[in-house]
Structure formats: structure tokens, C-alpha cells
Amino acid sequence: MVAARRSVLAGLALLAAMMAAPLARAQDMQAGPVTGLPVPRYVSLKTDRVNLREGPSKEHRTRWVYQRAGLPVEIVAEFETWRRVRDADGAEGWVLHSLLSGRRTALVAPWSKAKGETFPLLREAGEGSAVVARLESGVIANVASCAGNWCRVSIGGTEGYLRQDRLWGVYPNEKVD
């Protein structure tokens, strides 16, 4: 009986912590020591070749080479001309600031592992709206705006709305103009 009660209490504590995480994220944002911009924040890669380094200098070993301009990354720290970034897979390292862009992009459901799963891009923000395209996991979308639950995005020449919780590159309930 005591073990069951402890298990229930632990589960409730975990649930409360998970529900508070988006609120904590907003409170955790601070001004970066170099730019004065919020940290953490999302940006995108400016070019098709970006080295992710172990430390904030060209002398540090390259851990990974990104080869996808527009890929969203999250800046988690700043040091001089270097930014520590995290990608959708959780990999972290340092990137020269001139290789990053303030242009907002997002990945469509990179966590989805179901083969053939697609996500509807809708004409209007709302579940009953007409589908203008079906997007696969990992597609890069240009983010025009987000209003808390829906984001207006474009992929190629196609524009529409996607639920915000299906994007990696915007925070939960974040407003983007």
C-alpha cells in the first residue's frame, strides 16, 4: 500500500513538472552576454556547410558538418563570436555566429519514426480546414508567424498552417511575428 501511494505521488510530481516545463522555459530565458538577445532561442543555418565544433574556436575539433542550409538550431549559449547550439537530435556544439541566420525555420515532426506518416498543411488555422499538402517528417518549413497553437509556414511555394506542436524550431505557445 505504501509503495503504491509513493508510486502515485511520484507520477503526479512528474506530471506536474512536465506541465510546468513550458512555463519554466519562458522564465529561464535570459539575455545573452554577447548579443543581449534571449538565450535560448531558435535560429537557422545560413549555408550548406557548417562545422559543429567541440569548443568555441577554430582550433577545436569538428564533431559534425551540417550540410543543410535553413536547418533550425537552438542557441543555448554565447561566447565572443561563437554560439553553442543544439539540433533536433540533441547534439550540441559550437558554431561561428556568421554561419547562423535569424530567419526562423522549423522541422516538421523530426521525432516521428512511423514510416509513411504525413502531417497535414492546412489552408486555415483549424482542424476542419482544407488540406493543401501533406508533409513528411524532417521537412524544413519557413516560419512566417505563430499564434500559440498554429504556425503559418511555407515550404517551396506552398503556404499554409501547421499545428505548433508538430514543429521543432518554435517553443510551445511561442508567438512569432
> Would you give the distance in Å from CA 102 to the centre of its chain?
13
15, amino acid identity: L
Q: Could you identify the residue written with the cell 554560439?
A: 83
Question: Could you check whether 30-103 and 107-176 share the same CATH topology?
Answer: yes
Task: Pick the closest to residue 104 from 53, 70, 75, 78 (CA basis).
Answer: 70
Domain 107-176 listed as CATH 2.30.30.40:
yes
Reported pTM: 0.82
Whether residue 14 has pLDDT greater than 50: no
Q: Helix and strand tally (H, E) in the chain? A: 1, 17
The rounded distance, in Å, linking the Cα atoms of 38 and 34 is 11
Residue 125, pLDDT > 70, answer: yes
DSSP structure class, residue 130: P
On the CB side of 122, CA atoms within 13 Å amount to 14
Q: What is the largest CA-CA distance in the chain?
A: 60
pLDDT at residue 61 tops 60: yes
List the single range of 17-21, 63-67, 115-119, 135-139 with lowest mean pLDDT. Answer: 17-21
Per-residue pLDDT, averaged over 122-143, amounts to 97
Q: Where are the alpha helices (H) located in the chain, listed in sequence order?
A: 2-28
Does 135 score more than 50 pLDDT?
yes
* 1 pLDDT more than 70: no
d(CA 48, CA 11): 44
- For range 1-8, the mean pLDDT: 40
Alpha carbon distance 30, 75 (integer Å): 12
What are the sequence ranges of the domains in the chain? Answer: 30-103, 107-176
The neighbour count for residue 147, using CB atoms within 10 Å, is 15
Of 3.30.70.1290, 3.40.630.10, 2.30.30.40, 3.40.50.2000, the CATH number of 30-103 is 2.30.30.40
The C-alpha atoms of residue 29 and residue 162 are separated, in whole angstroms, by 25
